[in-house]
Amino acid sequence: MSVPAKLAGFALVLALVFAAAALAGSRLDVHPGKPTVAKAEAPGMGGMADGHDETTAPQPVRGLAVSENGFTLQLARRSAQPGEPFELALRIVDRRGRTVRDFDVEHTKRMHLIVVRRDMTGFQHLHPTERPDGTWTVPMTLADAGTYRVFADFSVDEKPSTLAGDLMVDGPMRSLELPAPVPTADVDGLRVRLTERATTAGTDAELAFAVTRDGKPVAIREYLGAKGHLVALRQGDLAFLHVHPDENRLKFMAAFPTAGTYRLFLQFKTADGRLHTAAFTQAVTR
């Protein structure tokens, strides 16, 4: 076969190959210069089916893992005895295993520890002390047996993280059912009412509270740089929701990422300086 004939045959083969590739590309909906995007569900957050608007991204949750944003939580111990005081020690390390020492001040503190049993009882909000070697320590007592979730909530270079690990308290455990959703909670002789409630997942909503004693409003003093502090946890995986407080009122902005049941832990101080914790069950629909 002559050289011109060979070249013509080679050109014909190339044309057929390119034509086949173009046909395959059109069926895969792949466009030049437009990368393909794989859609995946975040852990524990569920899908976007049942008619939910797929263009509305679920709000991020934290506290589902021991590592996040290049940081890892290291607990010095994994067990304790019920009712016996002990010192909880922990470190935050980076990807190279180096102890992190520089933290931002968030809500007047550089480190917040949230401890709660898996059935969302025994809630504690603690502020540990940092040692020169970067270890954080705090005295603690866990009254009842069971598995507790320890959340380390902090920020580094203005990027917040919430890491979590489990702590086992030895002994037989009796898990408690979550209370039904009601708009009021009685604590320390006070009545706390949830006056505005979020009920729909995926939308920004206000959570507002009013505190009274014998039907009369109670003065609230500042706590952690605002009128109050609110922690929201999702039943099941205990996902930690980021809630934004109003500095002047007991009002918070929150976005619940999925339908389900959540537990709200409101903390506030009265004029006598006493810290109070009121818990609410929040049902959220699609």
| Span 153-179, pLDDT tens digits | 999 999 999 999 999 999 999 999 999
**What was the pLDDT predicted at 243?**
85
**What was the pLDDT predicted at 58?**
46
**What was the pLDDT predicted at 108?**
95
Strands of 27-77, DSSP E: 67-68, 71-75
What CA–CA distance (Å, rounded) separates 212 from 222? 17
> 280 or 27, which is more confident?
280
Residue 38 has pLDDT above 50, yes or no: no
Residue 80 has pLDDT above 60, yes or no: yes
Structure tokens at 66: 């021991």
| Tens-digit pLDDT profile for residues 198-230 | 678 988 888 999 999 999 999 999 999 999 999
**What was the pLDDT predicted at 12?**
40
The radius of gyration of the chain from alpha carbons, rounded to an integer in Å, stands at: 26
Tell me, rounded to whole angstroms, the distance of Cα 80 from its chain centroid: 25
**What was the pLDDT predicted at 132?**
96
**How many residues are present in the chain?**
286
**What SS3 string covers the chain?**
CCHHHHHHHHHHHHHHHHHHHHHHHHHHCCECCECCCCCCCCCCCCCCCCCCCCCCCCCCCECCCCEECCEEEEECCCEECCCCCEEEEEEEECCCCCECCCCCCECCECCEEEEEECCCCCCEEECCEECCCCCEEEEECCCCCEEEEEEEEEEECCEEEEEEEEEEECCCCCCCCCCCCCCEEEECCEEEEEEECCCECCCEEEEEEEEEECCEECCEECECCECCEEEEEECCCCCEECCEECCCCCEEEEECCCCEEEEEEEEEEECCCCEEEEEEEEEEEC
Residue 24 has pLDDT above 60, yes or no: no
Residue 54 has pLDDT above 60, yes or no: no
Burial class (CB within 10 angstroms; exposed 0-12, middle 13-18, buried 19+) of 34? exposed
Beta bridge partners of 209: 194
pTM of the model: 0.79
| Residue 269: pLDDT band with limits 50, 70, 90 | very high
| Tens-digit pLDDT profile for residues 56-79 | 344 568 899 999 999 999 999 999
**What was the pLDDT predicted at 147?**
97
* Minimum mean pLDDT range among 31-45, 169-183, 233-247, 262-276: 31-45
Helix (H) or strand (E) holding 194: strand 190-196
